[in-house]
Amino acid sequence: MNDTTPRTMRAITQDVLGGPEVLREAELERPTAGIGQLLVRVHAAGLNPTDTKHRQSGLFLGAPPFVLGWDVSGVVEETGLGVALFRPGDEVFGMLPYPYGAGSHAEYVTGPARAFVRKPSAMSHEEAAAVPLVALTAWQALADVAALRPGQRVLVHAAAGGVGHVAVQIAKSLGAYVIGTASAAKHDFLRGLGADELVDYRTTDYAEAVRDVDVVLDPLGGPESVRSLGTLREGGLLVTLLPIGEATTGGRPATGGRPRSARPGRGRAPGGARHGHARRGGPRRHDRGRPPDRGGRPARHGRRNLPPVRGRQGARLAGDRAHDGQAGPHRALSPATRAGRTGTGAGLEPSFPVPVRLDGGTTG
């Protein structure tokens, strides 16, 4: 370890559950790298809507005090036993194991070496810290769960949101025809990312305007998932990031977590949407009826590399909140979504990740 590395660190922590006002800066003992781990000096940490939910509920993290944050970019300070791919001084970024590995909203953080990759020199720490959660979510949903193939039609809800705008880029890189729902003000932005067709949810009911899609990526959940089933062709796939409601789970409540999928089945749900059969997602093989690869085996899409995204950065930043204080970035995501109307249903646009800087000797 570097002899100049301090034994303590500053972190944004909380002693009680609640709103942004419960966050405070505290001096904590600096962690050390364990077996297979890196100790990273944090230059920027991402803040996503999920952080605000954990701040309020403590879900998975137990009772406070705790430090939030999963997305991180920084410099390797120390490597643990068995780490061969990194050395002190390497610039890295990554996502700490979710949900139990939180802690990036601090000056130092430890995590398994497998959770990090080297940061491209052309990408700033702020840009890198905004990428991991949204990019990995979009990739898992489209490549691992949906096994998206060239020529397929995909509908991306909240296409201008954090997961959505990265999903548009990934879907295009996989050769899909991309339809997105977003307010009209975001259409030029999405066209620049490669979207082929856009629906203004404030003036147009996507459930009536869109038909015969192969895959729907839905970060909204609830009734919107039910309505989205009507846009699918026979045998199409709905991938949702949130609970999809009792109407599509045969009366069983769905739980949050990794992307899960549903296919239209027989019968009708309330409002005219067809029932589907839901199950937990995560990486999986093709469903029966999908074509195999040339070797006669199901294609292993999960092994493909994440494709490069358009432009200099993969995730658009919500703004520089480096000196907004502990509560400022959280207030920027409150509420985490903005509601609009589409005929008979609500449309939502999740906020972008907010980079939270912790280097430079000040957090506020």
253-262 pLDDT, tens digit each: 333 445 655 5
Whether the bond into 298 is cis, omega within 30 of 0: no
Q: 315 and 162 in contact (C-beta within 8 Å)?
A: yes
In this predicted structure, the answer to whether residue 297 has a pLDDT above a threshold of 70 is no
Query: How far is the CA of 81 from the CAs of 38, 90, 270, in angstroms?
Result: 9, 17, 57
Q: 354 and 326 in contact (C-beta within 8 Å)?
A: no
In this predicted structure, the answer to whether residue 271 has a pLDDT above a threshold of 80 is no
CA 4 distance to own-chain centroid:
35
Q: Give the pLDDT confidence of 32-51 residue by residue, as tens digits.
A: 999 999 999 999 998 888 88
Q: 160 and 168 in contact (C-beta within 8 Å)?
A: no
| Residue 332 confidence class, pLDDT cut points 50, 70, 90 | low
Residues in the chain: 364
Q: 153: exposed, middle or buried (C-beta count within 10 Å: 0-12, 13-18, 19+)? A: buried
What's the rounded mean pLDDT across residues 73-77?
A: 96
Three-class SS of residue 272?
helix
Predicted structure pTM score: 0.73
Three-class SS of residue 162?
helix
- pLDDT cut 70: percent of the chain above it: 66
Query: How far is the CA of 309 from the CAs of 79, 150, 189, 249, 253, in angstroms?
Result: 30, 17, 14, 35, 36
DSSP symbol at 106: B
Lowest mean pLDDT among 61-65, 125-129, 225-229, 277-281: 277-281
In the chain the domains, ranked by start, together with CATH numbers, are 8-130 (3.90.180.10), 133-303 (3.40.50.720)
In this predicted structure, the answer to whether residue 94 has a pLDDT above a threshold of 90 is yes
Count CA within 13 A, CB hemisphere, residue 39.
20
In this predicted structure, the answer to whether residue 169 has a pLDDT above a threshold of 60 is yes
- Cα–Cα distance measured from residue 186 to residue 163, given in angstroms and rounded to the nearest whole number: 15
* Number of Cβ within a 10 Å radius of residue 196: 16
pLDDT at 73: 95
* DSSP-derived pairing of the beta strands 345-350 and 337-342: antiparallel
pLDDT at 60: 85
Higher pLDDT residue, 353 or 121? 121
Considering Cα of 356, then 353, then 329, then 219, what sign does the dihedral take? Answer: negative
What's the rounded mean pLDDT across residues 314-342?
A: 46
In this predicted structure, the answer to whether residue 25 has a pLDDT above a threshold of 60 is yes
In this predicted structure, the answer to whether residue 191 has a pLDDT above a threshold of 70 is yes
Work out the angle between the directed axes of helices 132-139 and 162-173 (0-180°, nearest 10).
Answer: 50
pLDDT at 76: 98
- Cα–Cα distance measured from residue 200 to residue 159, given in angstroms and rounded to the nearest whole number: 11
pLDDT at 258: 52
Q: 36 and 82 in contact (C-beta within 8 Å)?
A: yes
User: Which amino acid makes up residue 34?
Assistant: G
In this predicted structure, the answer to whether residue 314 has a pLDDT above a threshold of 60 is no
In this predicted structure, the answer to whether residue 87 has a pLDDT above a threshold of 80 is yes
pLDDT at 309: 46
In this predicted structure, the answer to whether residue 136 has a pLDDT above a threshold of 80 is yes
Count CA within 13 A, CB hemisphere, residue 308.
5
What's the rounded mean pLDDT across residues 222-235?
A: 91
* Number of Cβ within a 10 Å radius of residue 148: 25
Instruction: Single out the residue of 4, 8, 26 nearest to residue 105, CA to CA.
Output: 26
pLDDT at 307: 52
Q: Cα–Cα–Cα angle for 51, 52, 53, nearest 5°?
A: 90
